[in-house]
Chains A and B, each alone.
Chain A
Amino acid sequence: MHELAVCQALMDQVENVAREQSAAHVVSIHLGIGPLSGVEPGLLSQAFPIASAGSLAADAELVITSLPVVVHCRECDCQSEVQPTRLLCSHCGAWQTTLVSGDEMLLERVEVICEKSTPAQARGVLHS
């Protein structure tokens, strides 16, 4: 199962982002995964608590968006959404297609809370 390895690579990137922003912790991590990436979103979610344990992202929410499989047909110049095991053009049936989307495994966005955050929060700390 390579999802743990992928998840560890994800954590390295998330920790870099958190460090760059001087984040206190990570609130949420947003991924876009296509079915042709070779990564199973379910297995990735299972691996996440293991890979994130003890990090700034230990309590973060992992949000995975499934991206559609879309091909562009070189024969009829059409674009169509298809099944991952049949990448044929749904207009003319040709197999001479190019994948437009569906093989991504992307870290799209990370939401963090910063140490020295907004003035409002800073005031909140002073008052307490």
Chain B
Amino acid sequence: MCDTCGCNVTPGNAHLVKPGGALHRTDDGREAVSVLRNLLHENDHTAAHNRQHFDQHGVLAINLMSSPGAGKTALLEATIKRLGKELSIAVIEGDLETENDAERIRQHGVPAIQITTGSACHLDAHMVHDALHQLDLAALDIVFIENVGNLVCPASFDLGQHANVILLSVPEGDDKPAKYPVMFRAADLVLLSKCDLLPLLDDFSTDKARRHLRELANPAEVFELSARTGDGMTQWLDWVMDREARLEHRLGELHTDNHADATTAP
């Protein structure tokens, strides 16, 4: 069993926990050591550490994921244009090779840290941790993390975000949630992007996209928007503002609780 946090023993695998402790020695000199720990244990602990950093500074962290070219950077640009005056925003950009996306963001006067992953098809918690220390978290309200465009790999790596937002651009088809269940199960919000193209794509049903998401037992909301025309942006921006306010509220309560504990302690 995980000695750090007792994670990972679920009803589904509890039968694997052998009675008689973690170590079992057989006559032929073999030792069977029972571990029962998530393969990405290190990543998960760094992710928790990142989340602490974010919480400490009251910074909302949003992990944006999608297939390549679904419109993540365009959405961020449109979001910065609308919220950049009210809120202090920074962006962490994950990309295989280029600095292009970070440069696009910087043109809007927002700090952007580019992580070039080389051959890695996803961001991991360590990469995000390194990027965090290049940002002045105390001066920020929101950090958007634009993950590498990929509907498979990023889903397995917790980064320490508060919410996963997944873009599904309408040219990709409405059955993407059924084809990529691991990714779409992780969504806290799904954005159907490039909705200005809906009139051209008569086979994309927004209802079907929603139904596929429910079939993954995911209750997440689904918004329709277009970063290009601005349609539907308000609902998304309200969602971001609401999450930011809720984080501030939660951290405020935590602070009061800690304070109360400290003053009533003997």
A71 to chain B, nearest CB (A): 7
CB-defined contacts of A13 to chain B, threshold 8 Å: 35, 37, 39, 41
Chain A interface helix/strand/loop/mixed? mixed
With A38-B152, A87-B217, A118-B25 already in contact, 6 other A-B pairs whose C-beta atoms are closer than 8 Å? A2-B152, A5-B122, A32-B16, A95-B214, A102-B12, A110-B32
Stretch at the interface among B71-79, B177-185, B247-255: B177-185
Q: Is the CB of A39 within 8 A of B178?
A: no
Residue of B nearest to A117 (CB): B29
The 8 Å CB contact of B30, one of A39, A70, A86, A113, is A113
- Chain A residues near B217 (CB-CB < 8 A): 71, 87-88, 95-99
The docked-state distance in angstroms from the alpha carbon of A106 to that of B8 is 8
Nearest CB of B to A125, in Å: 11
B33:A17 contact, CB within 8 angstroms? yes
Does B215 lie within 8 Å of A86, measured CB to CB?
Answer: yes
- A88→B35 CA distance, assembly (Å): 32
Q: Is the CB of A108 within 8 A of B214?
A: no
Interface flag for A126 (CB, 8 Å): no
Structural contact, A68 and B16, CB atoms closer than 8 A: no
Residue from B39, B122, B185 within 8 A of A31 (CB atoms): B39
Say yes or no for B205: interface residue by CB 8 A criterion.
no
Tell me the total A-B contact number using a CB cutoff of 8 A: 142
Sample (21) of A-B pairs whose CB atoms are under 8 Å apart? A1-B153, A2-B152, A6-B40, A6-B156, A9-B41, A13-B41, A20-B33, A21-B31, A32-B16, A37-B182, A95-B217, A100-B12, A104-B38, A106-B37, A107-B35, A109-B16, A111-B30, A113-B31, A114-B29, A114-B31, A121-B29
Binding site for B on A (CB under 8 A): 1-2, 5-6, 9-10, 12-13, 17, 20-21, 23, 27, 31-32, 34, 36-39, 67-68, 70-71, 84-88, 95-114, 117-118, 120-121
Kindly state whether residue B221 has any CB partner on chain A within 8 Å.
no
Alpha-carbon gap, A100 to B13, bound state (A): 10
A71 CA to B216 CA, complexed, in Å? 11
> B2-26, CB under 8 A of A: which get 1 and which 0?
0000001011110010000000010
Q: Are B216 and A2 in contact (CB under 8 A)?
A: no
- Is B182's CB under 8 angstroms from A112's CB? no
B181 touches A84 (CB 8 A): yes
Tally B residues with Cβ within 8 Å of A. Answer: 44
A10 to B156, CA, bound (A): 14
Interface residues in B148-174 by Cβ distance below 8 A to A read 152-153, 155-157
Minimum Cβ distance to chain A for residue B15 (Å): 11
Query: Do the beta carbons of A85 and B35 come within 8 Å of each other?
Result: no
Q: Are B30 and A100 in contact (CB under 8 A)?
A: no
Q: Which of A21, A23, A70, A105 contacts B38 (CB 8 A)?
A: A105
Least CB distance, A75 to chain B, in whole angstroms:
11
Contacts of A112 in B (CB 8 A): 30-31, 33
- Contact of B153 with A108 in the complex, beta carbons under 8 Å: no
Contact A38 B153 (CB under 8 A): yes
Task: Report the Cα distance A86→B128, complex, angstroms.
Answer: 32
Per-residue CB contact flags for chain B residues 195-239 toward chain A (1 = under 8 Å, else 0) read 000000000000000000011110100000000000000000000
B120 touching A36 by the CB < 8 A rule? no
CB of B119 to closest CB in A, whole Å: 9
A117–B194 Cα gap in the complex (Å)?
Answer: 64
Which residues of B sit under 8 angstroms from A97, Cβ to Cβ?
217
Contact of B13 among A36, A104, A118 (CB under 8 A): A104
